[in-house]
Amino acid sequence: MTGIELDPREYWEFLSGHAELVEERGWVLPDRLLATPSIDPRLKIAARMAAGVRLEFETDATEFHWQVRADAPADSSRAPSPFDIVVDGNLHTRAAITGDGVVSTGELLPGNKKIRIWLPQYGHVRLGRLRLTGASEVTEIPRGPRWIAYGSSITHCTGADGPSETWPALVAAEHGLSLRSLGFAGECQLDPPVARFIRDAGAEVISLGVGVNIHGAASFSARTLRPALEGFVDTIREGHPDTPILLVTPTFAPEREQAPNAAGLTLAEVRAEVAAVGERDDLHVVDGLTVLGPADAHLLVDKLHPGPDGYRLIARRLAPHVAALLPVKENA
């Protein structure tokens, strides 16, 4: 049967949500941050996880096969998250792969269809050749307004059922957004290279969910947290003087609310410091307790991270806040 076969260089234009693609022995590895010497090694490991990265195209193919490799980080025994294949907006296939494998759909209905393949949000992936059976064409899907979502593991969403069901992916699908997820599990530490990356990246809306990693690592004190966050925002503003920025304070974590960390701050106090920065005229602040609060504690799997239902709830509650900041569409 006729079709189209593409090597990684030939389908680069169909990949979204990454900063750069690294070639390695015939494979391509997506990275969510540009490589710079100032990136902490732990942040680099998180950035190499392809949360929010997807291959998206329109085609009349009746089947496709994508050679991939998915591995957990070197120090983890946890399996990588699955690949999610979404066809015309509906989840078609969820493919769990560890090591070398092939992501495929089985037979698809004839005619043109929009396909998005979300890469695993947990684990490191390598991408190989893509074969589109029965295809006479493959074209780009028009992309919507660009949204950058920065945050911790609660934005990274490694515990979601699949990469299309992280809360940023759900919000992006609901409002037709082109997502760039900068959720870094354990590594939302206001790193200057991340602020500079956001500054230089295109976006129509930006969200910042900060505070829980800062509390957990005791990375800032009552003296340093507010100016550090102010400086992070100021760097972003150098490239985005008018872009709406949504600042979300920490969600509920029962054992951390009143527990001082090594820097002497409780999570409640971190939340108050973040909210104080949100009093700036150029920020829109959302109280994290209205996103996931004490009444939602049953959705936490470890008294900190939501499970799949918790991520769906976050999506429902944050979607209106993100949508309210989108550019107003002009009448045709």
Where is the domain boundary, 139, 155, 176? 139
Cα 171 from Cα 286, distance rounded (Å)? 16
Asked if residue 85 lies in contact with residue 105, where contact means CB atoms within 8 angstroms, the answer is: yes
CB-based burial of residue 52 (10 Å sphere; 0-12 exposed, 13-18 middle, 19+ buried)?
buried
End-to-end CA distance of the chain: 42
How many separate domains does the chain show? 2
151 and 283 part of one domain: yes
pLDDT at residue 76, rounded to an integer: 84
Asked if residue 184 lies in contact with residue 193, where contact means CB atoms within 8 angstroms, the answer is: no
Cα 61 from Cα 131, distance rounded (Å)? 9
CA dihedral of 240, 241, 244, 246, whole degrees rounded to 10: 80
pTM of the model: 0.96
Which range marks the domain in which residue 265 is found? 146-324
What residues of the chain score a pLDDT lower than 50? 331-332
Q: Which amino acid is at 10?
A: E
**131 located within any domain:** yes
55 and 162 part of one domain: no
CA dihedral of 146, 289, 215, 72, whole degrees rounded to 10: -50
**220 located within any domain:** yes
Over residues 62-84, the pLDDT tens digits come to 999 999 999 998 888 899 999 99
173 and 100 part of one domain: no
Beta bridge partners of 85: 93, 117
Where is the domain boundary, 98, 122, 139? 139
pLDDT at residue 39, rounded to an integer: 95
Where is the domain boundary, 118, 139, 160? 139
**68 located within any domain:** yes
pLDDT at residue 25, rounded to an integer: 87
**296 located within any domain:** yes
Per-position b or e across 207-232, b if 16+ CB within 10 A of its CB: bbbbbbbbbbeebbeeeebeebbeeb
176 and 318 part of one domain: yes
Cα 204 from Cα 218, distance rounded (Å)? 32
pLDDT at residue 1, rounded to an integer: 56
pLDDT at residue 328, rounded to an integer: 79
